[in-house]
Each structure stands twice: as C-alpha cells, then as structure tokens.
A = this chain, B = another copy of it.
Amino acid sequence: MGREGKRLMYRSATEAEDAFYEAFAQQDVEAMMRVWAEDRPVFCIHPGGDLLTGRGEVEESWKQIFQAEVPFHFELEYHYREEYDGQFAISQLTETLYLRHHVVGIVLATNVYCGTDEGWRMIMHHASPPPGPDAPESGMPVLH
C-alpha cells in the first residue's frame, strides 16, 4: 500500500489534504492510509480521543470510525494554511460534519504534512471538539 507508483503521490500538501477529506467522507480506509506518511512517525488525536502513534494505531482508529457506514460530508472552513519551503505544511480548520442535511459534529483540526520522497504525506491530525453551548464562557478555558 502506498508504494504502487506515481498515482499515489500527492504533489502538494493541498492535494494530500483533499485526499484525506475525500477518504474520510468515502469511509475508505485504504485511501485514508495512503495519505499518511510511511517513512516517519505519525500521530493522530481524534476528538475526545487519546494520542495514537504509528500507522497501525491510526489505521485501527479509522476502521472503527468508518464502521458506522453512514453517508456524510464535510464543510471545511480554513483559518490557516501554510507551506514551508516545500518540506512542511500546516492547516488549521473547522470541520463541520453533516449526515444527510443535519450537522452532527463540529471539530477543530490541526493537520500537518511533510514533503517526503513519496510526495506529500500527512504526519499529524489533531482534532478536538469546540466548547458546547453550556461552556462557562465560549472559547475561554477555566483551567488549562
């Protein structure tokens, strides 16, 4: 997987990120794992989840998420998207997740990509839920 030639190479971080959200929406584990780097450490934190390290743990988590087998799609609102020197890229965005026409989740995500010998790949996805409506004061934590 991931070594089957040029068609798997993402030529930019943006292309890798598009593939990430496409695989996510399609609930396609193989396509998802092609986006993640193979030759360096990878890290993933799902909303409310623990730190997952390595392709094995990351893949297992997506399999569990995709078990639901319900059609959904994303609305992505970008706050920041920067590429450094062809080596490294970072995105900061809000993911709004829809099941049919209903919003079922809002997530704050930080995605990190690296330029590797096999094209651009994801090395980190850190996602967390924003405060709920009953939070003490929106956006401000009481204690770190």
Is B65 touching A141 in the complex (CB atoms < 8 A)?
yes
Q: From residue A13, how far is it (CB to closest CB) to chain B in Å?
A: 12
Is A144 touching B124 in the complex (CB atoms < 8 A)?
no
Q: Tell me, in angstroms, the Cα distance from A129 to B144 when the chains sit together.
A: 9
Residue of B nearest to A140 (CB): B64
Q: Does A104 contact B (CB under 8 A)?
A: yes
Most B CB within 10 A of own CB, among A24, A52, A139, A144:
A144
Q: Which chain A residues have a beta carbon within 8 Å of chain B's beta carbons? A: 24, 41, 43, 45-53, 57, 60-61, 64-65, 68, 79-80, 84-85, 87-88, 90, 92, 94, 97, 104-105, 107-108, 110, 112, 114, 124, 126-131, 135, 138-141, 143-144
